[in-house]
Chain A
């Protein structure tokens, strides 16, 4: 899959939440560790549901986890 225009702060948020591992986050979100790795590396854009679930786990808003850097309009 091609790299997306969506960047994220998952690595930083994991670090700020007790150095949470990708496996821990994956289990809480309900996806595989490889999927968390792909999202973190910007190779895969998750569905809205997964994005909201991640934001809820970190206790922040979605736009604090994901940032859109592509063209608008």
Chain B
């Protein structure tokens, strides 16, 4: 498996783990309007994500020193751009679709709309890394 594909798997797993950890407890806090907990959970989630990424990347780098030193070539940059396009559409559709749904159909408040944007961003990141993995696997 190419080094870049391994890093894509690492990021995808980190996002899924941190998102699952956050949403396992978030609904209770949202329902209780415990905004301090939500903020703390967001900061802790971000910290956990960075920790998983840094430790995972260092392990991958130690196990594949030659591949890690090789800069991204034109095909890998193209794969990143194509994956980013999927993520962009996901984010735009998710954000505007979600806001429309929340405002006109559910009549939700601004806090919920902020959550919609956050969810759209996370889903877009997941789509981006899944797309990267699919492109790497198809071209390997």
Contact = CB atoms under 8 A, between A and B. Distances in A.
A34 B2 contact: yes
B23 to A, nearest CB: 34
Nearest to B79: A1
Contacts, number: 36
Interface string B63-102: 0000100100111100000000000000000000000000
Q: Interface range on chain A: under 10, 10 to 19, 20 to 34, or 35 or more?
A: 10 to 19
Interface stretch (B30-38, B52-60, B114-122, B132-140): B132-140
Contacts of A30: 73
A30 B76 CA distance: 12
B74 to A, nearest CB: 5
Contact of A44 (B2, B67, B70, B75): B75
A38 B74 contact: no
A50 B74 contact: yes
Interface residues of B, number: 13
A20 B68 CA distance: 23
A32 B139 contact: no
A8 interface: no
Interface of A: 1, 30-32, 34-35, 37-38, 43-44, 46-47, 50
Given A30-B73, A34-B136, A50-B74, 9 more contacts: A31-B75, A32-B4, A34-B139, A34-B140, A35-B75, A35-B76, A38-B139, A43-B138, A47-B74
Question: Which 10 residue pairs spanning A and B have beta carbons closest together?
Answer: A31-B73, A38-B139, A35-B75, A34-B2, A43-B139, A35-B73, A47-B74, A44-B75, A32-B73, A34-B140
